Structure 1
């Protein structure tokens, strides 16, 4: 048995069978035999050591959210419960995703695929902040900050710590081209991170001067 081992906990055997087939169809995943109650889930978690749980909330003898919290294993909550307190409780307990039943099978497939990429990004013994940001962005379907852009803008902000300057002066301080400096300074100004003023000379266009807000 290879791949990410997934335990499905759902008291409806038809639903758990559908989810099992969806998991087995995704490359990199293996579905363990589904279980239908909290007691069986605890035994399966102890004996089979799954990597990921797919948990219903309402079980005949317990609460799926609590099962996940106890286990401390990565988990998605798949439930017909759509009330805000339940959703918030699941997410606060550590659930990575919450899908309201019934849902399009592609919704689960998409989250499984993103979870696999997330796991792959965090597979090594130590990671950089860039890797963490990328992994979180991948998991939740958002775009992580572009490292090169963020790095360049930080260089310019550090250069501005020396005092107000033009784009030419800042480019020289930061070691980037004038065009690159102007592009990133425009973004920083749009975000309100820097202020721009005009300095008029005796001839020609006024010069843009930048300073940290």
Structure 2
């Protein structure tokens, strides 16, 4: 994988034999910050041609296509990909995961579900699209961003909150600093910090400067939150 130019929109190819479904998926991609659709394909042959000419960053593929299998397409292309399909057979899901897909969404799914995966993918790519060697911390962070936490829902937090807590470390930081270190947006960092403050997982202190609004500084409280 080669590094991409900073700030460039991630380009997505949508592959689905139902043109109406393909358009719905394309609309979600277009509405997601940082992405653009470079084409839609209804067959494996069309998809291969567009992959060769457009060189997309991400493939959104259905499994069953008129002239082949979307998972085989993903495997042969070696591209970053999501599978969006109504297929729920265990063998099909295993094949897709073995082919290296970053997400498997079962139709019908909500727009939010796809948007969330796209957002994770964008943050994942910001880490791995680099000309420099990745260290273990980089790799672990990229995997956590893309695939989330394996903790049960009852554990009291989310994968994003864990990233925010990791960014806080043992010091005191602003939401902007946490966002930069964790790879999430400032708004997301602010929401997660506020939620954890409400549960007592982090503490908040106001730092007053010479002018303007006071700055909120956050720190771990020591209270178990996970």
* Partner residue, 2:73: 67
- SS class of match (1:24): helix
Consecutive unaligned residues of structure 1, counting only runs of 5 or more, are: 150-182, 184-213
Of residues 47, 54, 58, the one that matches 1:48 is 54
Partners of 2:123 and 2:66 in 1: how far apart? Answer: 34
* Cα shift at 1:104: 0.9
* Cα shift at 1:124: 1.8
Of residues 36, 41, 57, the one that matches 2:42 is 36
Structure with higher RCO (Cα < 8 A, 6+ apart): 2
Partners of 1:122 and 1:35 in 2: how far apart? Answer: 27
CA RMSD of superposed structures (Å): 1.8
Consecutive unaligned residues of structure 2, counting only runs of 5 or more, are: 1-7, 150-158, 171-221
Of residues 44, 54, 58, the one that matches 2:64 is 58
Deviations 1:180-203 (A, max 9, x none): xxx9xxxxxxxxxxxxxxxxxxxx
* Cα shift at 1:110: 0.1
Partners of 1:134 and 1:3 in 2: how far apart? Answer: 22
* Partner residue, 1:164: none
* Cα shift at 1:123: 2.2
For these two proteins, the number of residue pairs brought into alignment is: 149
Partners of 1:78 and 1:30 in 2: how far apart? Answer: 18
Partners of 2:19 and 2:115 in 1: how far apart? Answer: 19
